[in-house]
Structure 1
Amino acid sequence: MKHWLTGLSVVVLAALLLLGWQYLTPPSGDAQTRAPRVQSVHVVMPEHQAVEDRIRAVGTLRAREAITVSSEVSGRVVTLAFRTGQEVSRGDLLVQLDDRQARADLQVAEARLDDARRQLRRAQQLRGSNSIAQSRVDELRTAVDVAVAERNAAAVRLDNHRIEAPFAGVVGLRELSAGAYVESGDTLTTLDAVDPMELRFAIPERYLGQLKPGLSLQADSAAWPDRSFIGTLSELDTRVDPLSRSLKVKALIDNPQRLLRSGQFMSVQLVLRAREALVVPEQAVLLRGDEQYLFVVGDEGKAQRRRVALGARKPGWVEIRSGLTADEQVIVTAQDRLSSGDALRILEGRDNAIPPNRLTGTEAG
């Protein structure tokens, strides 16, 4: 009985101590009235500026005309009439093969044609005096036609020993030397038409309604980091790729200095349309998940969080499509420490991180 009373006394004493501690402990942060915070910030006024809707893509350069030069006949190389990187015109000689046998074959074919024509003329004279049958005249006329065809074939075989440029362009690497024997189909060199160059890339299908030939674009290459190349959209494919949901397009880029080469990788910015729009410095906009927002100076000089929809971007600036008016002050510094309702002290002057703009504000308590 005594032990039971002792245990009960200990429990009662512990309960009294716990109640006393809770009574004496001051209330936590949520129960206290929080002292108002004052944040020092810089602000700007939104501006109306010219912005452009641009599509960014990557593409590959190709020559507008490009072939692998090869031989249609076998033979020994007599003349190489080009050097690597040389510009040639249409019809210029590139390679001459030994054509002595082909010339002899042409002479034989021409001699047979001359003989066939003489026999036909004689038969036609005899036919006038009924000294020869009409069937014989017809046979000789056919023989002339065959001889003409053989002569033409021999002339083509002779021409095939002379390999000429089919269009104006730049010749690539030499794949052989004079005196080498080449087989029919062997690669001799390459020929590319390099001015203008053709840039191929793909555009998402959602932009189809804004695409048309003649749109201007800017292309950049890692090989020439200090310059950009200007081109125009020239061709649109007739089909949308069902896998990538994109449309293949071609653009022409002037290349008068021969700086660009076929196969080169380029990044592309295609300008769809230009317009006046409301813009703010990029640093004013914050992201949280899919939400895009910024802070403005609200009533009584307090911070107000504002969800916005963004549009086009330009260096240092971003278009605000909705959620902001032109007469609202936008906070551009210390946003990561702000909450809606915080009191603000608006600093005068220009923060170094802010693009040139109309910084505004006087001291606000």
Structure 2
Amino acid sequence: MRLKYRNRQYLVWIVFPLLLFLLLGCSQESESSPRETPAPPQEQGEWVPVQRKTLRHFIPAVGTLQARQITQIGSQVSGRVQEVLVDVGDIVHKGQVLVRLDPTFFQIEVAQRKADVAAARAHLDAIKQSVKTAQADVKRAQVALEDAALQLARMKELWERPAGEKPYVQKQQYDQAVFKHQQAMANLEAAQARLQEVQARWQEASFRLQQAQSALRYAEERLRETEIRAPYDAVVSKRLVDPGEPVVSGAMVTHLLEVQDIRVLELEFSLPQEFLAQVQPGTPVMFRIEGIEEGRGKIDTVFPALDETTRSFRCRVLIDNADRRLRPGLLVQVQVVQEATDVLAVPRQALSQTASGWQVVVDEDGTPTPRRVEVGLLTQEEAEIREGLQEGERVWIAGSRGEG
């Protein structure tokens, strides 16, 4: 018994110091090498810093070039084509004569209207002379009436004397003065009536002259319309008539030519509705026309209505084509450029989407901590962070090979 008790004491004195030595050694090792990197999540990955960058994302699309203006030219008068002065592909300038109609009947009409104007003017001139004569007659009648009134006043003074006095003139003389006064009044009234009549005829003749002049202007304008001119600088895209063909105006108008303004072309393309908030007038684009040209531009118009079938919206870019190298109908490869300059960015792999939005895992004093963030521009490899992170913070990328 005594031997067994001594053996147990011996084992305790050997094992206890050994355990104490091991515990102290581990504690010192832990204190001498503190951890700089937080314990990562269980999956494989690495910590990466939040950095400021310029991000670019390209949205691909396919578009078509269109002419800025397309006009099918007709005639405002009916007639027969005399000449077609241009052909398909010709460059024309505003005001240039493109087609001539036979002007014969229109020239005859102008000559007739000129004769009508000359006759109306001659008639008006004659009436003007009559007006002058009538005005002179009125003046003479007014003078005669004044003389007759003065003579009558004198005779009345000599004839009408106080009771008991004998008149200085005979009654025949007095009656003759009264008659002349009445006759002068009648003559004035007649002259005034003739003047009014002549003035009415003058007004009617003036109106007829105006009508004749309007008819002449109308005929001259119809004659000018026998020459069909270019409405603006353009290229002829279609020729639809030849000499000798009849031309009809009005509701059943005959189209003679089609012209297009291609100095500036419209590039139109569609984008999915998900990009509607990210695209607006001024957004830069890059375009490529296979085998012809590459270039850059900016969106000029974002159409307000969406296509209900494809749920897409249309955009328009204006392309300068002063040298006319490009043609309407060309197929164009488009890339809409989305750019965010000097923004906080993280690899897109660092993002995960939850019911409440985007989140990342952040190193917070050595502890991996999920944090919600507001995301801006998304590219295939990186994401703009608008809120939730600061430059220099570290986020976790799961599945990467590196620091673990």
Q: Same fold (TM over 0.5)?
A: yes
Letter in 2 for 1:86: D
Q: Deviations over 1:208-245 (max 9, x none)?
A: 9996x7x3532646767972441353x789xx669989
Mapped contact 1:54–1:312 kept (Cα < 8 A) = no
CA distance in 2, matches of 1:225, 1:320: 39
Change (3 A) 1:299 1:102: same
Equivalent residue number for residue 92 of structure 1: 96
2:344 corresponds, among 278, 287, 305, to 278
Point out the structure with the larger helix share. Answer: 2
SS in 1 for 2:259: strand
Q: Residue 160 of structure 1: CA displacement?
A: 1.7
Mapped contact 2:234–2:261 kept (Cα < 8 A) = yes
Change (3 A) 1:274 1:122: farther
Equivalent residue number for residue 138 of structure 1: 203
- Match runs of 1:353-364 below 5 Å: none
Equivalent residue number for residue 129 of structure 1: 133
Correspondence 1:157 to 2:208: no
Correspondence 1:218 to 2:285: yes
Q: Residue 274 of structure 1: CA displacement?
A: 5.0
Q: Note the aligned Cα RMSD (angstroms).
A: 4.9
Letter in 1 for 2:112: V
CA distance in 1, matches of 2:393, 2:315: 42
- Give TM-score scaled by structure 1 length: 0.61
Change (3 A) 1:89 1:304: same
2:257 corresponds, among 175, 189, 192, to 189
Equivalent residue number for residue 71 of structure 1: 75
Letter in 1 for 2:345: V
Identity over aligned residues, as a percent? 26
SS in 2 for 1:135: helix
Letter in 2 for 1:147: A
Change (3 A) 1:230 1:158: same
Q: Residue 79 of structure 1: CA displacement?
A: 1.9
Correspondence 1:230 to 2:297: yes
Equivalent residue number for residue 341 of structure 1: none
Equivalent residue number for residue 183 of structure 2: none
SS in 2 for 1:122: helix
Correspondence 1:320 to 2:385: yes
Letter in 2 for 1:230: G
Point out the structure with the larger strand share. Answer: 1
Change (3 A) 1:318 1:84: farther
Change (3 A) 1:334 1:291: same
Which stretches in structure 2 are left out of the alignment for 5+ residues? 1-39, 135-193
The more displaced of 68-77 and 42-51 is 42-51
CA distance in 1, matches of 2:291, 2:333: 10
Equivalent residue number for residue 51 of structure 2: 47
Number of positions where the alignment pairs a residue of Structure 1 with one of Structure 2: 297
Change (3 A) 1:168 1:57: same
Structure whose alpha-carbon radius of gyration is higher: 2
Change (3 A) 1:225 1:137: closer
Which stretches in structure 1 are left out of the alignment for 5+ residues? 1-35, 336-344, 347-360
- Match runs of 1:317-356 below 5 Å: 317-329=382-394, 334=399, 346=402
Mapped contact 2:57–2:379 kept (Cα < 8 A) = no
- Give TM-score scaled by structure 2 length: 0.56
Equivalent residue number for residue 172 of structure 1: 237
1:269 corresponds, among 311, 336, 341, to 336
The more displaced of 172-181 and 89-98 is 172-181
CA distance in 2, matches of 1:286, 1:141: 90
SS in 1 for 2:125: helix
Mapped contact 1:230–1:254 kept (Cα < 8 A) = no
Equivalent residue number for residue 339 of structure 1: none
Change (3 A) 1:207 1:307: same
Change (3 A) 1:223 1:159: farther
SS in 2 for 1:67: strand
Mapped contact 1:176–1:188 kept (Cα < 8 A) = yes
CA distance in 2, matches of 1:81, 1:282: 64
Q: Deviations over 1:299-341 (max 9, x none)?
A: 87x9877665431135743313345543345566735xxxxxx
SS in 2 for 1:84: coil
Change (3 A) 1:222 1:325: same
The more displaced of 103-112 and 215-224 is 215-224
